[in-house]
Amino acid sequence: MSFEELGLSENLLKAIKDCGYETPTPIQAGAIPHVLMARDVVGLAQTGTGKTASFTLPMIEILDGGRAKARMPRSLILSPTRELAAQIAENFEMYGKYTNLSMALLVGGVSMDEQIKKLDRGVDVLIATPGRLLDLFERGRILLTDIKILVIDEADRMLDMGFIPDIEKIVSKLSPMRQTLLFSATMPAAIKKLTEKFLSNPREVSVSAPASTAKNVEQFMIWTHKRAKDDELFALIEQENPGTAFIFCNRKRDIDGLCKALRARGYDAKALHGDMDQKSRTSTLEELRDGNVRFLVCSDVAGRGIDVDHITHVFNYDVPMNADDYVHRIGRTGRAGRKGRAFMLADKKYDEKFVAAIEEIIKKPVPVQEPLVQKNAKKTAAPEKSAKPANKNKKPRGKDRVQDEEIVGFGDDIPSFMK
Ligand code: AMP
């Protein structure tokens, strides 16, 4: 099937051509005709499948030609994270460049004044995270009654992040005559309930299970001890010599600690997590896109949906506690037809059940690789042992001191439910 056959008009076909897309992806071929027929759609697809264009393109087609009134947007795209919202906005700008549609991005962490000014001028497409949208609504800066199309993107992620009550509140302000599109990588019971409540007679379009999208990614797992993870990671980095890599951690303090430790070893590393202000998050992402960051140490929230093609490696410093996150994490590499490698450091004492959950959803075992550090440690065990007593009463200095502090830094910070 071609884009022409999907029923998109010249303005969009030209923009699609500029993007270099030749044929629609399965989610696009499946969803676009339904959206153009004004049907509600449930799209089961994860990032990397082309799902953003599957709702952005027909939305532009439907809205093109009309005009928004002040403070009354004509369509709303809800996204769980600022980064994802920003990426949707970028897509919208690319695909809508031959139209006169206006767009506003409403996310937390940036000044409201600019956003309010834009809303006052009238926007056709509003892309928002739930919190900031409700905030502006409650201040009376925005009216939601004119919204003709609602998109809820990454609904399962919204659920994980506790946004469902916010979504319910937002939807209750919308006209029941709207068209609703909901996208989710998985369909937990709570999301199914939400679709039954918010969508009317939806068409379901589903593309291959998330696990199969990682076919370009070679996966490995290393059983190690949590205290040995730093050394194992550094050894892996040396062995793999990655071009650009994501390093995922489960805890924010580990992100900062690891970033420092990498820099201390001369690596160019940046942190990305939800506690950072929007300005530094955006500039870090830009540096990553431009190829100026080699290691991005990040959390799941920050790492999700980031669409950068040149990531060669993903290192899971921690095993994710949510098996879906594993699929999302390793899906950062092996994109756009390239090969990627993903490594995961796991501790038998804490991680066995999480690894089992991952293997259940990817429907295969993650191949185990011998730890590099233990192998090397065996060779050097004797001199290290004999060196210790001599240093017993000395305060560690310089490099040794840094290493000592790192071990303390990655100490027993294990959530109680994992113990
Ligand atoms: P998404 O799943 O929306 O995050 O999209 C993943 C990537 O696929 C983005 O870089 C898009 O620009 C790209 N993409 C979307 N549709 C197509 C297409 N039909 N052909 C080639 N690339 C596409």
- pLDDT tens sequence across 171-219: 999 999 999 999 998 888 999 999 999 999 999 998 865 444 467 899 9
Q: Which residues of 359-375 are buried (b: 16+ CB within 10 A; e: fewer)?
A: eeebeeebeeeebbbbe
Give the sign of the dihedral formed by CA 238, CA 244, CA 250, CA 252.
Answer: positive
Residue 309 corresponds to which amino acid?
D
- Please choose from 25, 213, 216, 335 the residue to mutate so as to test ligand 1's pocket, defined by most ligand atoms within 8 A of CB: 25
Query: With a threshold of 0.85, does the pTM exceed it?
Result: no
Residue-level pLDDT at 52? 95
Number of domains observed in the structure of the chain: 2
Q: What mean pLDDT is reported for the chain?
A: 85
In a domain, 82, yes or no: yes
Q: Which domain holds residue 318?
A: 217-400
Q: Is 60 exceeded by the pLDDT of residue 239? A: yes
Q: Are strands 103-106 and 217-224 parallel, antiparallel or unpaired?
A: unpaired
> In terms of domains, do 241 and 189 share one?
no
Rounded to an integer, the average pLDDT of 82-91 is: 92
Pocket of ligand 1 contains residue 328 by CB under 6 Å: no
Lowest mean pLDDT among 31-40, 53-62, 199-208: 199-208
Residue reference for tokens 């070893």: 265
> In terms of domains, do 252 and 390 share one?
yes
pLDDT tens across 245-269, in order? 999 999 888 999 999 999 999 999 9
Distance from residue 103's CA to the centre of ligand 1 (Å): 20
- Please choose from 307, 310, 333 the residue to mutate so as to test ligand 1's pocket, defined by most ligand atoms within 8 A of CB: 307
Cα dihedral 21/25/28/31 (nearest 10): 170
Give dist(CA 319, CA 356) in Å, integer.
Answer: 11
Q: Is 50 exceeded by the pLDDT of residue 22? A: yes
Report the atom number in ligand 1 closest to the C-alpha of 94. 12
Closest residue CA from atom 21 of ligand 1: 21
Rounded to an integer, the average pLDDT of 144-167 is: 94
Q: Which residue has the higher pLDDT, 263 or 279?
A: 263
C-beta pairs of 101-110 under 8 Å, 24+ apart in sequence: 101/60, 101/63, 101/64, 101/125, 102/68, 103/127, 104/73, 106/132, 106/133, 106/136, 107/82, 107/132, 107/278, 108/82, 108/132, 108/135, 108/278, 109/82, 109/277, 109/278, 109/279, 109/281, 110/278, 110/279
> In terms of domains, do 169 and 260 share one?
no
In a domain, 233, yes or no: yes
**Domain end point (choices 172, 206, 240):** 206
Pocket of ligand 1 contains residue 130 by CB under 6 Å: no
- Decide: 147 and 285 in contact? Cβ < 8 Å: no
CATH code, domain carrying 347: 3.40.50.300
Phi, psi of 271 (to 5 degrees): -100, 150
Share of the chain above pLDDT 90, in %: 62
Distance from residue 49's CA to the centre of ligand 1 (Å): 6
Q: Is 90 exceeded by the pLDDT of residue 276? A: no
- Decide: 115 and 74 in contact? Cβ < 8 Å: no
In a domain, 411, yes or no: no
Distance from residue 117's CA to the centre of ligand 1 (Å): 31
In a domain, 405, yes or no: no
In a domain, 353, yes or no: yes
pLDDT tens across 360-418, in order? 888 889 999 999 987 555 444 444 333 333 333 333 333 332 222 222 222 233 333 23
Residue-level pLDDT at 67? 87
> In terms of domains, do 51 and 143 share one?
yes
**Domain end point (choices 161, 185, 206):** 206
pLDDT tens across 320-372, in order? 988 878 988 898 888 777 889 999 999 999 999 999 989 988 888 999 999 99
SS3 206: strand
Residue-level pLDDT at 315? 97
Q: Is 80 exceeded by the pLDDT of residue 162? A: yes
Pocket of ligand 1 contains residue 54 by CB under 6 Å: no
Residue-level pLDDT at 376? 53
Pocket of ligand 1 contains residue 331 by CB under 6 Å: no
Please, where are the H alpha helices in 290-371? 300-303, 323-330, 348-362
Share of the chain above pLDDT 70, in %: 86
> In terms of domains, do 239 and 311 share one?
yes
> In terms of domains, do 382 and 241 share one?
yes
Closest residue CA from atom 1 of ligand 1: 50
108 pLDDT band, cuts 50/70/90, is confident
Residue-level pLDDT at 321? 87
Q: Which of 89, 69, 74 is nearest to 124 (CA)?
A: 74
> In terms of domains, do 129 and 28 share one?
yes
Distance from residue 371's CA to the centre of ligand 1 (Å): 36
> In terms of domains, do 229 and 99 share one?
no
Q: Is 70 exceeded by the pLDDT of residue 271? A: yes
In a domain, 410, yes or no: no
Give dist(CA 147, CA 126) in Å, integer.
Answer: 9
Rounded to an integer, the average pLDDT of 12-41 is: 93
Chain center to CA of 243: 20
Q: Is 80 exceeded by the pLDDT of residue 55? A: yes
Distance from residue 20's CA to the centre of ligand 1 (Å): 10
> In terms of domains, do 249 and 315 share one?
yes
SS3 255: helix
Residue-level pLDDT at 236? 97
> In terms of domains, do 308 and 394 share one?
yes
Lowest mean pLDDT among 11-20, 188-197, 205-214, 286-295: 205-214
Output the DSSP codes for 337-353: T--EEEEEEEEHHHHHH
> In terms of domains, do 11 and 153 share one?
yes
Q: Is 50 exceeded by the pLDDT of residue 122? A: yes
- Decide: 95 and 127 in contact? Cβ < 8 Å: no
